[in-house]
Structure 1
């Protein structure tokens, strides 16, 4: 008896689940055997004799079927009860068999394929998928699990618009997250401002002009950018981004002030920018949607418009005076 147990143990150690897969493959035909064929029984009958569930029997059956399609083992039709065949190595069995019934569904197949792509056993991924409460507990308790979950969600966002939408809504509804996103966006814009100086050799002035960056400015931008790029994962970049941005902005302002012609162009660009903003605002000021002007009238409205009219008139006068000023009066340093 001991020797028999040892032989059985050795056979299983070499073949693993293939040994039991063979027993199912040579003895089971789903639905039972047709008349005139080699006697086989249904998965339900086999399960009753084995003292297990029919689902478990069918998992072995389907694993053998997949392996047969790949040429690893003979097809069911070539097998009869009691027949022995050469079996593949034990390690290969797990690539065909899943110990979980959920693996038989379309969802389970997708999870199994993803697990194989990641180089892990499908049973591990299926177990996690079947226990979302356990997954939640692990995420809440363990930073490593939370980080893995975060990366997985980010990888999934491109192919799951619904998840992306829900995630954005969750962020918008949570004040702390909304502020954090705004802060990260601001830091990102500042880093991008510095990066453009390094990569393109140009920089935008406060008034919106694009000018060539000086050698000093590019060198300073490169220094700050290298410090930001060398930050460890998870290290806050907001303060570094602010310092880099403030430094290069100060240098840009100095560049503008040190060049008389550029200084005049900057003042002109700033004036045009303010004029465009004021024009847009005033164009949006309309009474078209007001049925009765009396409903909105207040004395202060007229006063403000009169003040605005005077300011515009003074501005026009100053510009008109400049157009007739003798050329000799122009001083680009002003």
Structure 2
């Protein structure tokens, strides 16, 4: 903690008047320029060699030294000891409203209140005195400058619910809240950065994906936008196909389960599982690169051909596979026939002779199929 010197105590003289101010002894060779002596962290003024320096420069240097040590706390103190927001000042107090203070300062009342609220939060943490203990013109010990940004935000949006959410997210990411708030307040600039810079676009993509996990409305909006854009819709379909193929290989490699073309789930043989593991390791190495899709297709085709070969080489599996395939086809045909809406066809002038002919042909095909199945059953 450092003591804040009262800047108002420095006499104001005409800028042209010269005074003698202390400066450090020259460390360079004779003839080198000498600089103004700095303020030490202890607040002491270095007094080696004297040099004529304008009073305005001395005042600026001392003001800078105060601010360098205490930062925004210097000005927050001026607000905290002089402002009493809302209502009339307490009896016997010289404090004024934030609006009156802002008019005297030539700035907005909102800015004054941001300093006021920063002091209020620090007071709650016991870092600075409460407002009631402060009187106009009185100096107190102030925290170090680097603590200031933990309590103050230069943006009014930081005080809103949205601002608090952005601030919390920024802290979780380990960045300054002011940076995140600046981006949030300028979406056009964010859009320009995304359009122009691949790195920014990648960061935005990752953020959107993380947000969509918990934001159902955003999921719907993104899905709708993709579905309405032909190129994106096609790309999503391709990626979904690649993901399904990778999952097929992964189930064999990690789960030891294989799904046959007819939909049967069987235990994978050690040889098949080893082949699936080899292809999966190659895909995982490629991660999200453009070649991953091609490798996924090759892995799927290779593994699937091995599955078909294993089924064909096992008589019992071959019978089960063909039986399952027939049942699947029969189930699909039954479902399609059940969905025929005959009532709508009969009620209006929709019926055509061709419809009847096709149904008669279908009836003949079904009859032939039934006859063949019965003969095979009798023969067995």
Asked if Structure 1 and Structure 2 have the same fold, meaning a TM-score greater than 0.5 normalized by the shorter chain, the answer is yes
Distance in 1 (alpha carbons) for counterparts of 2:326 and 2:163: 64
Equivalent residue number for residue 332 of structure 1? none
Equivalent residue number for residue 148 of structure 2? 93
Tell me the alpha carbon deviations over residues 293-312 of structure 1, each in whole angstroms, 9 at most, x when there is no partner: 6x222222222222222221
**How much has 1:48 moved relative to structure 2?**
2.1
Distance in 1 (alpha carbons) for counterparts of 2:319 and 2:74: 88
Which TM-score applies when normalising by structure 2?
A: 0.81
Distance in 1 (alpha carbons) for counterparts of 2:89 and 2:288: 64
Asked if residue 308 in structure 1 is aligned to residue 362 in structure 2, the reply is: yes
Equivalent residue number for residue 329 of structure 2? 274
**How much has 1:176 moved relative to structure 2?**
0.3
Higher helix content, 1 or 2: 1
**How much has 1:35 moved relative to structure 2?**
4.5
Distance in 1 (alpha carbons) for counterparts of 2:64 and 2:111: 21
Deviates more, 1:283-292 or 1:57-66: 283-292
Equivalent residue number for residue 331 of structure 1? none
Distance in 2 (alpha carbons) for counterparts of 1:36 and 1:204: 85
Unaligned runs of at least 5 residues, structure 2: 1-54
**How much has 1:291 moved relative to structure 2?**
4.6
CA gap 1:233/1:266 in 2 versus in 1, 3 angstroms = closer
Equivalent residue number for residue 293 of structure 2? 238
Distance in 2 (alpha carbons) for counterparts of 1:87 and 1:31: 26
Distance in 1 (alpha carbons) for counterparts of 2:287 and 2:341: 53
Deviates more, 1:242-251 or 1:39-48: 39-48
Say if 1:204 and 1:211, in contact at 8 Å, map to a contact too.
yes
Asked if residue 51 in structure 1 is aligned to residue 106 in structure 2, the reply is: yes
**How much has 1:277 moved relative to structure 2?**
0.8
Say if 1:28 and 1:42, in contact at 8 Å, map to a contact too.
yes
Say if 2:76 and 2:115, in contact at 8 Å, map to a contact too.
yes
Say if 1:32 and 1:41, in contact at 8 Å, map to a contact too.
no
Distance in 2 (alpha carbons) for counterparts of 1:140 and 1:148: 12
Asked if residue 321 in structure 1 is aligned to residue 375 in structure 2, the reply is: yes
**Secondary structure at 2:286 match in 1:** coil
Equivalent residue number for residue 174 of structure 1? 229
Residues 114-153 of structure 1: pairs in structure 2 closer than 5 A: 114-153=169-208
Q: CA RMSD in A?
A: 1.7
**Secondary structure at 1:211 match in 2:** strand
**Secondary structure at 2:122 match in 1:** helix
CA gap 1:41/1:32 in 2 versus in 1, 3 angstroms = farther
**How much has 1:189 moved relative to structure 2?**
0.4
Distance in 2 (alpha carbons) for counterparts of 1:77 and 1:144: 50
Distance in 1 (alpha carbons) for counterparts of 2:299 and 2:267: 18
Say if 1:217 and 1:248, in contact at 8 Å, map to a contact too.
yes
**Secondary structure at 1:288 match in 2:** helix
Equivalent residue number for residue 167 of structure 2? 112
- How many residues align? The count is 325
Distance in 2 (alpha carbons) for counterparts of 1:211 and 1:232: 28
Say if 2:345 and 2:351, in contact at 8 Å, map to a contact too.
no
Say if 1:256 and 1:262, in contact at 8 Å, map to a contact too.
yes
Equivalent residue number for residue 63 of structure 1? 118
Distance in 1 (alpha carbons) for counterparts of 2:88 and 2:351: 93
Distance in 2 (alpha carbons) for counterparts of 1:4 and 1:126: 35
**How much has 1:10 moved relative to structure 2?**
2.2
Unaligned runs of at least 5 residues, structure 1: 327-334
Asked if residue 252 in structure 1 is aligned to residue 307 in structure 2, the reply is: yes
Equivalent residue number for residue 253 of structure 2? 198
Distance in 1 (alpha carbons) for counterparts of 2:341 and 2:222: 39
Larger Rg: 2
Residues 73-92 of structure 1: pairs in structure 2 closer than 5 A: 73-92=128-147
Deviates more, 1:111-120 or 1:53-62: 111-120
Which TM-score applies when normalising by structure 1?
A: 0.92
Deviates more, 1:61-70 or 1:310-319: 310-319
Distance in 1 (alpha carbons) for counterparts of 2:90 and 2:139: 24
**Secondary structure at 2:344 match in 1:** coil
Equivalent residue number for residue 352 of structure 2? 298
**How much has 1:256 moved relative to structure 2?**
1.0
**How much has 1:324 moved relative to structure 2?**
2.3
